[in-house]
Copies of this chain bind each other. A is one copy, B any other.
Amino acid sequence: MLNQNPKLDLMFQALADPTRRAMIDRLSRGPASVSELAKPFDMSLPAVVQHLQALEASGLVSSQKVGRVRTCQIEPEALSQAEQWLNERRTLWVKRLDRLGEYLAATEDEEEGK
C-alpha cells in the first residue's frame, strides 16, 4: 500500500502517550537527566525508562551518558517531520475547499448574470 513510513508510526505512537508528551514538554524547556524526567511521575524508574526508549526509538528525543548520568534532549528535526506530515494533508484539504468556494462563487455570479 501507499506511504510506508515506519518512522512516523513510531513518532505518533510515542506522542500518543500523555506521560511521553509530558516528557517532551519538559524537554522543550531544556535538557534533563533520566531521574529529573522521572521526578514528576508516580511511576517506577524502569517504567519511565521504557517511555524514554519509545521516544528515542522514534527519534523525537536523543540522549548521551556521561559518567552515570544520562542526559536527554529533544530532536527538533523529528518533531518537524511529524508537524509537516500533518500540515501537508491539512493544507491540501483547505486548498481544495478554497477552490470549491471560488467555483461556487463563480456559478453564483453566472446565475446573477442571467
Q: Which residues of A are interface residues toward B (Cβ below 8 A)?
A: 1-6, 8-9, 12-13, 15-19, 21-22, 24-25, 27-30, 40-42, 73-74, 76, 79-80, 82-83, 85-90, 92-94, 96
Look across to chain B and name the residue whose beta carbon is closest to the beta carbon of A96: B30
Q: A6-B18, A21-B85, A76-B93 are in contact. List 10 more A-B contacts (CB 8 A).
A: A1-B18, A1-B19, A2-B19, A2-B22, A5-B18, A12-B21, A28-B90, A73-B93, A80-B86, A83-B83
A16 and B9 contacting across the interface, CB-CB below 8 Å = yes
Residue numbers in B under 8 Å from A13 (CB-CB): 12-13, 16
Beta-carbon contact of A28 and B93 below 8 Å: yes
